Amino acid sequence: MSRRAGVFAAVWPPLLVVVILLVLWELVVVLFSIPEYLLPTPIAVGRTMIEQWPRLIAATGRTATATLAGFAASAVLGVVAGSLLSLVPLARRGIYPLTLLLQMVPLVAIAPMLVIWFGIGLPSVIVAACIVSIFPVIAGTLDGLQSVDAGLEEIFRIHRVGRIRTWWKLGLPWSIPSVITGLRIAAGLAVIGAIVGEFVGAYGGQHAPLGAIITSALKQNQTSTVFAAIAMASALGFLLFGLVNLGGWILLRRWHASAQ
């Protein structure tokens, strides 16, 4: 009962803001009679969504596949890379600064290269999603592992525990909160990476994912379709973020209990 009230209390303020914004948007478009190819009204977008629902939902499914695969890859590779960087000081000093590059390389610029390397279709989109979202995971893992309590480390040293076991029994559990923080950021980035990857790297036509739908609709001035696809992509980002939060909450329950 109180739990449901809590969820409701958390949800209604942002929901109210969204509704107000949509109403304002509708009013602005109608009052200034902005043509639909420039900015469709929310109602027009809604209509398009209903009309094209089967195509949109299938496209969302495909984009979701690429996003999830890219996100999963960056979660696993990010934790592994962050752990290796923490275990090998030389690598940390030599390689970690370079991983910053991952963050700074404009994906739009390298996406065409990914197509050359991995071909048109799912693989290059997955790689794009992974490249964009991996850095926060590496950083979160490394930060967590570097901040392990020195007193707890001493306990393991006294028992002559090796570095790998210490990582497994102490470093990794200790780092879970900051890994989760990295994954939260990565979730949103993975969607962006997948969509951008699809701009250049996805099949169009019958099996188009959201990114490809956006580019082809843009070419045909079907702006409300673009917005409908954007809405679906946002929903996807929201869903993934929610899943990460749920997973984090389950893992962190113990930590939360101990942080009180």
Least Cβ distance, residue 148 to another protein (angstroms)? 11
Return the residues of window 34-73 that contact another protein according to CB under 8 A.
none
Q: Is residue 7 close enough to count as binding another protein by CB under 8 A?
A: no
CB within 8 Å of 198: residues ≥ 6 apart: 63, 66, 125, 209, 210, 211, 212, 214, 215
Q: Is residue 173 close enough to count as binding another protein by CB under 8 A?
A: yes
Taking the C-alpha atoms of residue 69 and residue 100, their distance in angstroms, rounded to an integer, is 22
Which of 98/257 has CB closer to another protein? 257
Q: Is residue 172 close enough to count as binding another protein by CB under 8 A?
A: no
Q: Is residue 207 close enough to count as binding another protein by CB under 8 A?
A: no
Q: Which of 93, 163, 165, 207 binds another protein (CB under 8 A)?
A: 165
Q: Is residue 250 close enough to count as binding another protein by CB under 8 A?
A: no
Three-state SS annotation for 105-126: CCHHHHHHHHHHHHCCCHHHHH
Q: Is residue 93 close enough to count as binding another protein by CB under 8 A?
A: no
Residue owning tokens 């930590």:
255
Least Cβ distance, residue 175 to another protein (angstroms)? 11
Q: Is residue 155 close enough to count as binding another protein by CB under 8 A?
A: yes
Torsion of CA 169, 175, 177, 178, to 10 degrees: -170
> Which residues are at the interface with another protein (CB under 8 A)?
149, 151-152, 154-159, 161, 165, 169-170, 173, 254-255, 257-260
